[in-house]
Amino acid sequence: MNELTTVDETVTEAATNEVIGTIQESVEKTTGFFSDAAEYLRKALPLIIVALLILVLGILISKLIAKIVGKAVSKSNVNGAAKSFLVSLIKIILYIAVIIMALSVLKVPMSSIITILGAAGLAISLALQSCLSNLSGGFIILFTKPFTTGDTIELDGSVGRVRDIGIFYTKMLTFDGKTVFIPNGKVTDAKIVNYTETPARRIDMSFAISYSSDFEKARQVILDVIANEKLILKEPAPVVRMSSHNNSSVSVAVLVWVNNGDFLEESYNMTEAVKAAFEKNGIEIPFDQLDIHIKDKV
């Protein structure tokens, strides 16, 4: 019995010593780690201070540059959303540059960081290819200015007034009340007709009279109508000429100039006024006719 007790005591003491040894080893490793860390910080403290100064000053300078760019962009009448995005993009680029400078002071290997940034940029560009196309298109529109907000344009089969030029889409309001969003990437590749670029616009109209009607009389009637229309400009001078011989009618081309804002109104006015004048002066407006000749059987 005494022998068993002695064995148990020996095993317990050995286990206790092993645990104590493990604890001591852990304490020594932890102490060594903190000692090494403290020694590293002591040696690297000047570099850390310099890196922090670069970081703080770099962020302040970046904000100042972004503010200056924002004011310059505001003077160029760039859309508000585009201005905000451009300023944010410049800030991000400058911040990244400042962080890289701070890390280089701490002797962090820049080649690895640049490789990671390059790989991430490539992956993002591939994943967002269409978005980047629209983004670049937005900046092309905003800085080349083929049109601005409020212009009346024809684009991608739609005619209307430009409501907003965003980073990714151009927003148009058509004359029948539809809102159209056109990707900026498509805008830069499309044919754009800007009706607001010049102050005046020509109305091209055609009126039909019968072969039995007097062309010179019809021409004078149209010129009288033009003279009474206050929205039609005197210069350039209006044109009223015979344009074609059709199956049942003679076409009279009428070309008049108006201010851009009066285009639709005067188009309606001329159509109504010419019809009324033709009826008053006995000038026939023909309709399609078909003459049938029946031959007697021999």
DSSP string, 72-89: HHHHTT--HHHHHHHHHH
How confident is the model over 198-208, as a mean pLDDT?
A: 91
Kindly list the structural domains of the chain, giving each domain's residue range(s) and its CATH number in brackets, ordered by start: 31-127 (1.10.287.1260), 147-194 (2.30.30.60), 200-280 (3.30.70.100)
Judged against a pLDDT cut of 60, whether residue 2 lies above it is answered with no
Q: Is there a contact between 95 and 61 (Cβ–Cβ < 8 Å)?
A: no
Q: Which of 15-24, 86-95, 219-228, 271-280 has the lowest mean pLDDT?
A: 15-24
Higher model confidence: residue 215 or residue 16?
A: 215
Residue 71 in this model has a pLDDT that exceeds 50: yes
- How far apart are the C-alpha atoms of 160 and 151, rounded to whole Å? 8
Say what the pLDDT of residue 35 is: 64
Supply 165's token pair.
Answer: 């030029």
pTM summary value: 0.55
Rounded Cα–Cα distance for residues 134 and 258 (Å): 36
- Minimal CA–CA distance to 168: which of 80, 77, 82? 82
pLDDT of residue 4: 46
Alpha helices in 106-165 (DSSP H): 110-127, 129-144
Stretch among 5-14, 144-153, 205-214 having the lowest mean pLDDT: 5-14
Antiparallel, parallel or unpaired: β 200-209 and 250-259: antiparallel
> Within the chain, where are the H helices?
2-75, 80-105, 110-127, 129-144, 184-189, 215-228, 263-280
Tell me how far CA of residue 237 lies from CA of 226, 232, 234, 254, 258, in angstroms.
Answer: 10, 10, 6, 11, 11
Give residue 92's pLDDT: 79
Q: Is 276 left (phi over 0), alpha (psi -120 to 50) or beta?
A: alpha
Alpha carbons 165 and 153: distance in angstroms, whole number: 13
Tell me, what's the pLDDT at 56?
A: 86
- pLDDT tens per residue across span 85-122: 677 778 878 888 888 887 777 776 666 666 766 776 66
What's the pLDDT at 277? 94
Report the share of the chain in percent with pLDDT over 90.
22
Model confidence at 132: pLDDT above 50: yes
Could you tell me which residue, 254 or 182, shows the higher pLDDT? 254
Residue 130: the pLDDT is: 63
pLDDT classification of 61: cutoffs 50, 70, 90? confident
Cβ neighbours of residue 70 closer than 8 Å, sequence gap 6 or more: 83, 87
pLDDT reading at 31 higher than 70: no
**Measured distance CA(12)–CA(202) in Å, rounded:** 109
Q: Which residues, 6+ apart, have CB-to-CB distance to 142 below 8 Å?
A: 78, 79, 82, 165
CA 67/CA 86 separation, integer angstroms: 11
Phi, psi of 176 (to 5 degrees): -100, 15
Cα 92 from Cα 173, distance rounded (Å): 34
- pLDDT (0 to 100) of residue 125: 60
Query: Average per-residue pLDDT in the chain?
Result: 79
Residue pLDDT, tens place only, 230-288: 999 999 999 999 999 988 889 999 999 999 889 889 999 999 999 999 999 999 888 77
Location of structure tokens 């003679």: 250
Indicate if the pLDDT at residue 298 is higher than 90.
Answer: no
Question: CB neighbours of 1 closer than 8 A, spacing ≥ 6?
Answer: none
